[in-house]
Structures are given as C-alpha cells and as structure tokens.
Amino acid sequence: MEHKYLRRIADGVLDTALEASGAVLIEGPKWCGKTRTAAERAASKLLMQDPDYTESYLKAADTKPSLLLKGDTPRLIDEWQMAPVLWDAVRFAVDQRGESGQFILTGSAVPKDNAVQHTGTGRISRLLMRTMTLFESLESSGDISLAALFDGKCDGDGFSTLTIEKLAVALTRGGWPASIGEKESVALRRVYDYVDAVINIDVSRVDGVEKSPARVRALMRSLARNVSTMANMTTIRNDIAGDEDTISEKTIASYLNALRRIYVVEDLPAWNPAMRSKTALRTSPKRHFTDPSIATAVLRATPESLLNDFNTFGLLFESLCIRDLRVYAQAIDGEVFHYRDKSGLEADAIVHLKDGRWGAIEVKMGAKEIENAAENLKTLREKVNVDKMREPSFLMVLTATELAYRRADGVYITPIGCLRH
C-alpha cells in the first residue's frame, strides 16, 4: 500500500530549480523519498531499476541513449547512474531544446569521476535531498521559522509537544518517509535492514571494489560512537581496534569515501569567519551520518536504551538537529557549519546564508545547560569581526524542552519540536 504523500521542503526547492534550469539532479541517500518527490512533478518517467525493463534500458543506453529521453516533460530518469551516458545525453538534449524544466534525474550514488564527459554546469542544477525533518513528519509545531529569524520577524514564542520519550522514538526511527506513522518495531527493523544492506552490498557496489563487511560495520560503529565530535582518523582507527585490529588509515579513508558516495555519512564542515583578533580556528569537520537513525541502528540502540544513556542521547540529538537545520537552511539558500577555536569556544551550528547573513546555534537537551550555552553564543558574537561579517541575525539555543521564548538578552530558546524552514 502506497503511503499518502507528505509534502517535502524539497518540493519548493525543486520547483525553483526546474524554473531556472533545463534539468535538475536530485541526489541523496536511497529510501529518502527522491523518486516519490520527483514523480510528484514528473509528466513521464524512466525507472532504470524496473527489473522488467532494466536490461533493455541498458542496451538502449549503449546504442542510442536519446531514445530513453523521449516523453512528456519534465521527464524523470530514476537512478541515472546505472547508465552514466544518460548524463551527457541529458546535457546535450537540454542544449538542443533550449527550454527549462525538461528532466529530473535522481541518484543514490555518485558515479566514478570519469563516468561522464561534462559537468553539466549551466544546464543541470543539483539538489541534495535528505531524510524528513520533524516538521515534514508533522512532529514539529513549526512555530519558529528559520527564515523569519533571519528577517527579524520572529517573536520566538512557541510550544513543542515532543517529549523526551517521543524524541527518542523519532531519533531511532529516523526521517525515512516509509517509516513515518509506522509502529516502532517496524520502523526500527527497517533501519536495521537499511544498515545491513549498506554494509553487505551498497558500499562495495558503488565503486566495484569489494570491502570487508566486518570492517565496514566496525567503521560505522566507530562513527556512531563518535557522532557529533571532531574525531580524526587516528581516533577512529584506535577506536576500531577494539572491533577489528588490522585496518589502516588508508583503508578507513577509502571506506569513508564510499560511504560518502552513497550518502550515508555527511560530515559538518568548520566555519571560518573573520575575527576581531588572531584566533586559531579548528578546521576539522564534525562526524555525522545523513540520518541519526543510522547511528542508532549500527549501535543497536533503542528508545529505551537512549533514555538510560543521556550522554549518547545528547550526541545523537545534536545530530538530529543538524539534519533538520541542513534541510531548513537549504530552503532559504543557506548552509550549516560548526565553529570551534583553540580556546574551546564553540557553536554546534552556524547557519550561513549566501547573502552573508548568519546565525549561531548551540544544541542543548536540557534547561540546566541553557544559561551557559547562551553566554557562549554571546562570547562568540563579540569575537567575530562584525565589520566584515555583519552582526549575527540571531543567537539560539536549540533544545529538547517544550517552551520557545526569547530571553531578555535576545537569545532565542527554541525546542527542535518548534522549528521549521
């Protein structure tokens, strides 16, 4: 039975991209809803993974790829990377037709660098689609808009109905569209199956290089244990040693690259602002999976076990917040970074818009940590050279609490269950 389509934030991003470009490539992890979202906009479709037709499609791609592009527009070409020649065929067709909104391509793996002849710059727009946010799964009230915060039009008031218990369930279930609304045991089983498929099949298939499932699992377990931290390769290798003691940093790097190419991991880059004084900034990324449920699945964590281990819960909660912030920021033409300097001052998330506006966010689960987090954010504001970087549009402590409000010093206290784009 097909689930009712829940509108995605990516819908609006896709509409804009189709108006501006001849073709749009939707990339992202498998099972995140790329095909369903694209199909909502498509007038015709080519499903490369349809077992009844895959062989004939591949033969057509080898002989005359333009045959596969015929159909009403926008035409959806799903999992295009199965026949990389389709990329160049689409680029050529876009040039020939001279019209926008001709094709939607979807892919859950990045092909080899030499698989396509042209980048598609100017013809094919890229859209990275992630799993569903709490707002898209109808669990966030949406009282606090990120766009409104940047525009100075948010009073900061709101209320979240997401209790700690519900957050634990949402985190382990993940933002996978097919699991929204399913009972907990079914949702958990699906994420376990997803992780097993990544480990045993997908990570080797992406580049045709056989990889040890035991080593992949050990690496993913280490990444899960180090989620939301700046763990370097040496730290990860030493951590893996307890599970698998014969893996080199070179092997870890190759495995990590494969996991990136199938959109399983997505590290958070460091922010490098102009500072008032010379301050050594940490440039290492923070470790994150595309969806926090991947970490809980590889650790075989449950909502109950998280509630008994708030240290792990806190790191995974931060990862959930980063996932949602990335989706919300993308919708308003922004990106998400993290900040840390040699003094230890940090901000878990910096949302930086393409027009130069920025906001700083600290993620804290409980109310007891709010005061210290707010002071850290204000210290960061004083360190940044606002003559070159502008004043921050907002400072926010993102929490797992219920009430959203704005403090007397201007810092927003916002439950993740109140946020939206």
pLDDT in tens, 153-176: 999 999 999 999 999 999 999 999
- Distances in Å between the Cα of 44 and the Cα atoms of 40, 104, 157, 164 are 10, 10, 44, 44
Strand 103-107: give its sheet, edge to edge: 44-47, 75-78, 103-107, 23-27, 124-128
Please report how many Cα atoms fall inside a 13 Å half-sphere around the Cα of residue 392, on the Cβ side.
22
Q: What is the mean pLDDT of residues 329-342?
A: 96
pLDDT score, position 85: 93
- Write down which residue in 68, 102, 128 finishes a domain: 128
pLDDT score, position 337: 97
Q: Determine, yes or no, domain membership for 34.
A: yes
Q: Which CATH number is 52's domain given?
A: 3.40.50.300
| Cα dihedral 186/191/193/199 (nearest 10) | -170
Q: What is the mean pLDDT of residues 32-57?
A: 95
317 falls in which pLDDT band (50, 70, 90)? very high
**Is residue 380 predicted with pLDDT exceeding 80?**
yes
Whether residues 156 and 99 share a domain: the answer is no
Q: Which residue has the tokens 């699991």?
A: 179
Whether residues 155 and 118 share a domain: the answer is no
Q: Which domain holds residue 196?
A: 144-420
Tokens representing residue 324 in the block: 């949602």
Whether residues 346 and 311 share a domain: the answer is yes
Q: Determine, yes or no, domain membership for 415.
A: yes
Q: Determine, yes or no, domain membership for 138.
A: no
Look at the chain and report how many structural domains it folds into. Answer: 2
**Is residue 199 predicted with pLDDT exceeding 80?**
yes
Whether residues 183 and 95 share a domain: the answer is no
Please, which residues have CB within 8 angstroms of residue 149's CB and are 6 or more apart in sequence? 359, 393, 394, 396, 412
Q: Determine, yes or no, domain membership for 4.
A: no
Of residues 68 and 274, which shows the higher confidence score?
Answer: 68
Q: Determine, yes or no, domain membership for 315.
A: yes
Whether residues 25 and 167 share a domain: the answer is no
Please, which residues have CB within 8 angstroms of residue 2's CB and are 6 or more apart in sequence? none
Say if pTM beats, i.e. exceeds, 0.85. yes
Q: Determine, yes or no, domain membership for 137.
A: no
Whether residues 199 and 307 share a domain: the answer is yes
Tokens representing residue 205 in the block: 């298939």
- Write down which residue in 66, 94, 128 finishes a domain: 128
Summarised one tens digit per residue, pLDDT across range 207-246 is 888 899 999 999 999 999 999 999 999 999 999 986 656 7
- Distances in Å between the Cα of 76 and the Cα atoms of 99, 291, 338 are 16, 25, 36
Residue 158 one-letter amino acid: G
Whether residues 81 and 191 share a domain: the answer is no
Q: What are the phi and psi torsion angles at 335 (to 5°)?
A: -135, 165
Q: What are the phi and psi torsion angles at 340 (to 5°)?
A: -155, 135
Pairing relationship of beta strands 144-145 and 419-420 according to DSSP bridges = parallel
Whether residues 264 and 359 share a domain: the answer is yes
Q: Determine, yes or no, domain membership for 49.
A: yes
Positive or negative, the CA dihedral 330, 334, 339, 345 is negative
Summarised one tens digit per residue, pLDDT across range 83-108 is 999 999 999 999 999 999 999 999 88
Whether residues 113 and 153 share a domain: the answer is no
Whether residues 124 and 148 share a domain: the answer is no
- The residue among 263, 246, 235 whose CA lies nearest residue 212 is 246
Whether residues 186 and 334 share a domain: the answer is yes
> Distance of alpha carbon 371 from its chain centroid, rounded?
29
CA angle 208, 232, 216 (to 5 degrees): 30
Whether residues 31 and 71 share a domain: the answer is yes
Cα 270 from Cα 286, distance rounded (Å): 8
- Write down which residue in 128, 159, 189 finishes a domain: 128
Q: What are the phi and psi torsion angles at 30 (to 5°)?
A: -60, 150
Q: Determine, yes or no, domain membership for 227.
A: yes
**Is residue 379 predicted with pLDDT exceeding 90?**
yes
pLDDT score, position 150: 98
pLDDT score, position 117: 53
105 CB neighbour count, 10 Å cutoff: 26
Kindly state the percentage of the chain with pLDDT values over 90: 84
